[in-house]
A and B are shown apart, each in its own frame.
Chain A
């Protein structure tokens, strides 16, 4: 029996007896992550839908200047409110998403056939909260504008299409699976984060923890080579993390089966083959995380020091998402070879039901595994330092 296998089995046995670690990795995280995505996603979608469907409450300044417009708004599911004393302040304080001001000269302009002025008061720095309401009011005013304009043209004997040299039609080629919704934005990041640092506790416990508890020196006095010892610890961390990610993916399926989807674009439909493919995609990240964590923890003097690197590590899986935010470019083949970025792309393709070629798989997995080997080599070198065990 090889030494790495012995070490791996022992570390896993040790970890599975740590009730806190098991709860966190196999129950808490797998339930929390899908619930977080499903919960936030469905709340967001519901609120958006409510905003569009429920009666719009619109404070209007100068109701008396345009009774027809106000009456028309009323027939379009708008409840007109008396205006606040200071409309600008009220909008800024988010008491109202938008306030409509009808100009004092409205009636006069209207009768003269000149464009009559109305004004929307809103705060554009809050698109999430008020964006939908603003565009709804804009659309209503546009509709009134076109309706009256058409009537005026007809009254003058001109065909309304004169004012319409261009007709723009929409054809959205997105398949239902490729709609880019909240769940799809969050899922790759959370999945990669979990794959990368999900084994943190085990890795730290098996290296920095082993040293702190003074069991490393006797271990190094056995004939097992240091490469075998560190490989066993890395593989134990990776196996533990992979199981945690697998349970999380299954929980995604379970949770999304219960989320009401009538409001939402929550099209996270995860058939079993897709789950299996996602697991293969994150495999290099799992191994990379296990190796990096083990190397760091071997380098750190204590539990506490090892945990200090955590914020930095959490940032790494975020980088590709940030990069794509500032520079939303078309997917290039080389991206698949970049750790995290490549996995991010692969996960998105699988979620969207897009094809992944054998070549894509080879590039993504191959590049990931090469990096793992490089970090493994560094970790093994670190484990050969004399100070490793003797710094007590």
Chain B
């Protein structure tokens, strides 16, 4: 369960202050997939970074299973599985070693690391590459390694920042199936995307972000009803007020 209330964050740059997140509130429930939809630069990544304790909000509050990341960062990180936008893997280590490294940092015992790694490897379909060094991995194999490493500690809440970026159709499909399984297990899944079809196909609830603000939220049906558009894409364009950033 993830609750976000009145979140704000700005950055000082040479060109002046940039308000990346400007009053974002929403909720992502257990057993649901929540989609954070918005054009590039809307503030999705910054919102997620405040969630997984990389940044401290200027204002507002985040609660993960009722815990505040500013107060209890360690406990919050234990409850989160994070696939950040940056998903580099160590190329001189095998996929298994990459995953085990994160398992150890989460304080897992070697036995349960092995068991979890085997299970994730089966579910993500990476048996063929699990014991190979990740140098020369395809984009899909790298993303799978990064996802397995993010979930090795069996977190209740799963955050994924644009998980299907740069993946081919087959990998994207298997990844979507995997997210649906996580939901069926009762986890809270929150993922960001700028791809309409993906969000429409997967999410129980959609939070639309533009210019650092939540401009609409609800189920796909609710969004269509709100805007009076039969087509979700038209509804999306209408709520964000422009087509800018949609075609990345």
List A residues at the B interface (Cβ < 8 Å): 1, 3, 6-7, 10, 13-14, 17-18, 210, 213-225, 386, 389-390, 392
Contact = CB atoms under 8 A, between A and B. Distances in A.
B102 A390 contact: no
Contacts of B52: 221
A205 to B, nearest CB: 10
B114 to A, nearest CB: 15
4 interchain residue pairs of minimum CB distance = A214-B88, A214-B86, A215-B88, A213-B88
Nearest to B97: A13
Contacts of A215: 86-90
A218 B84 contact: yes
A224 B88 contact: no
A13 B49 CA distance: 29
A232 to B, nearest CB: 10
A218 B150 contact: yes
17 contacts: A1-B107, A6-B101, A13-B97, A14-B90, A210-B88, A213-B88, A215-B88, A217-B85, A218-B150, A219-B105, A221-B82, A222-B105, A223-B74, A223-B105, A225-B74, A386-B55, A389-B54
A3 B102 CA distance: 10
Give chain B's interface residue range (CB within 8 Å of chain A).
20 to 34
B77 interface: yes
A214 B101 CA distance: 16
Q: Which of B93, B105, B146 has the most CB of A within 10 A?
A: B105
Contacts of B104: 1, 6
Contacts of B82: 218, 221
A218 B55 contact: no
B247 to A, nearest CB: 23
A392 B84 CA distance: 12
Contacts, number: 81
Contacts of B119: none
Interface in B80-113: 80, 82-93, 97, 101-102, 104-107
Contact of B77 (A13, A210, A222, A386): A222
A390 B107 contact: no
B78 interface: yes
Nearest to A14: B92
Contacts of A389: 54, 86
A311 to B, nearest CB: 28
Contacts of A219: 105
B137 to A, nearest CB: 13
A179 B31 CA distance: 79
Nearest to A210: B88
Contacts of B105: 3, 6-7, 219, 222-224
B202 interface: no
Interface in B133-156: 133, 146, 149-150
Interface in B45-88: 49, 52-56, 74-75, 77-78, 80, 82-88
B86 A218 contact: yes
A223 B106 contact: yes
A39 to B, nearest CB: 35
Given A217-B84, A218-B146, A221-B77, A10 B54 contact: no
Contacts of A210: 88
A218 B87 contact: yes
Given A218-B87, A223-B107, 20 more contacts: A10-B90, A13-B93, A13-B97, A214-B88, A215-B88, A215-B90, A216-B86, A218-B84, A218-B102, A218-B150, A221-B52, A221-B82, A222-B106, A223-B74, A223-B75, A223-B78, A223-B106, A225-B74, A386-B56, A392-B86
